[in-house]
Structure 1
Amino acid sequence: MSKRVVNILVPLISIVLGLIIGAIVMAVSGFNPMDGYIALWNGIFMDTYTMGETVRQITPYVFAGLAVAFAFRTGLFNIGVEGQLIMGWLAAAYVGQAFELPTFIHIPLALLAAAAAGALWAFIPGLLKARLQVHEVIVTIMMNYIALHVANALIEVISGGAERTPKIHESASLRSEFFESITDYSRMHWGFLIALLVVILMWFILEKTTRGYELKAVGFNQHASQYAGMNVKKNIVLSMIISGAFAGLGGAMEALGTFENMSKLHGFTGIGFDGIAVALLGANQPFGVLLGAILFGSLKNGGLNMPSEAGVPVEVVSIVIALVIFFVASGYIIRVALERFSKKKKEVK
């Protein structure tokens, strides 16, 4: 059995195992697993509206997953994606409502503002890591809380004391009448196409550029990279900046597509933290992250239908997702089992 086949089978087996154990949890809790999973399926694919909402749910998870995966591929653990996403959301919402510009200028400007805000928020822990060897996990976690409260304070300033920023101008919106017409007025928007482009961009940076090679080399072995003449400190900061920019764009999807404004947050959105799970599901590979986001976003959106249609608490969906992640994290055991099975099969032949 080839390594590529094993890499494909491990997450698939993990998902199946998660769903099976999830069914057992539902049965033990007194719910019908078949009804629960039918309701989950209907919540994802029941009609054009639910499918549009599923795609809308998936979109920010792609960016959050890419942000975590990019940092991890370059030897860093960015737990601050949540805060970077919040700052990107705020920046996009502000630019979207503060200026009246032609669409072909306004949308790119709002997206750039979101990417810059996320990058700036990630630059701080990157700089501290590079210059003072302060562990990025601690700093990024703390930056999440700072982002939450700073964003809430700035929303009050921007809105003149209201609970949310003014609605963005039509010229900055990612929504379209075309998607509304084919998805029965769901909130699906052009952001999912931007997400696909960013997936390709990350793949191109890491696999096809000299800078990407340097970033991966520094993440793999800093001492060897420094000996080879690479600027380790510069690459650490650059890695965090790019990761933060991806996260900021995830926030822009919420500001310019889903909500078209930003309300004061009473807690974290959870998207940034879920991005860790998405990156894990996707093995930190760009196209794997896309598949992980599709699974994660589908389960999240479909799970909203389970209480009303099957009477299954939405918490059960969280259990299923957690079980899938658990089995993916335990992928080494599945990998060893597959390799042993492959060896026995060869011996029999």
Structure 2
Amino acid sequence: MKIFFTAEYSPEELEPLYELGEVVLDGWATGLPKMPEEELMEKTRDADILIVSYDDVTRKVIENASKLKLIACTRATPVNVDMKAAKERGIPVIYTPGRNSDTTAEFTIGLMLAIARNIPMAHKALKEGKYTNLNDQKKETKAGLTVDMIWDMETTAPYMVFKGTQLKGKTLGIVGYGSIGKRVGKIARAFGMALLIYDPFQCQIDIEEIGITKAESLESLMSNADFVTCHMKITSETKGIINKKMISLMKPTAYFINCSRGAVLDESALIEALREKRIAGAAIDVYEREPLAINHPYVAELDNVVITPHIGGATNEVLVNHTIQLVSDVKRFLNGERLLYEYRS
């Protein structure tokens, strides 16, 4: 049983896989770039099982691998696997849903704090030498007073320039209440936030409790939330769901957060709203096109947006999670048991 393996992984959790067959590590698993199609075709010609993270498992790859019996992809959705070609060959595809749910939820809250409290902006200003002294001079304290550590209280002081918004007491609108959305909500509740949920595929009785309300419509959520965060997969229904109309409904004091997929958002509409200061700000990890262009307004122009380069799911714990998931399911497959993580498109 040859297992051709190009995924990122946890070495400790991968050990049981070596007992199941001949494991050949290559490509991304060994620190190499994404493997070209022709190379992947050649190297998987006699593979029984193919495990990838980012390599494109195209029809050509699948049809060329005459012994192939199972494909595994360490992604929340196996977008880089030709599901139609796999289905035609009767080859099941396993994936790793939920592998990065906690990681992405934590990152979402981090972005909320960053934009609400202007943390990156303040950090950047200090690194550029703003609001600092030329030397380590000490302020004099007047007789009878205690040393006051405040920097200064002019209108141009950082205390005024970077004054933000606290999360406690605010309403967080969560668009998509699946694995990640629920975790975001749980953390936000610990901050003292109320939750407003939009998810047409979940019943009101499965969502609502004290402090958590299901929105009657997306329009209602966009109008009433102080923070809006998206956690949806891309489907025909969700593509562009946060459009110009929806953004226009947001409060002028509201913030928009996106750690799901760039395609859920009309990016030009958000840029227009940020440019005209019609909303307070945004924090974005995913984009219409990636990587971002150096002259993109998020990079070159706007000062009311926090941007990160699609790293919401980038932690070592994610590798541990998906390695455990795929090794478990490969073992089940070889034992003829029902698969836990078979993807059905």
The interval holding the TM-score normalised by the smaller chain is under 0.3
Superposition TM-score, scaled by structure 2 size = 0.24
- Greater relative CO (CA pairs within 8 A, separation 6+): 1
User: Would you tell me which structure has more helix in proportion to its own residues?
Assistant: 1
Superposition TM-score, scaled by structure 1 size = 0.24
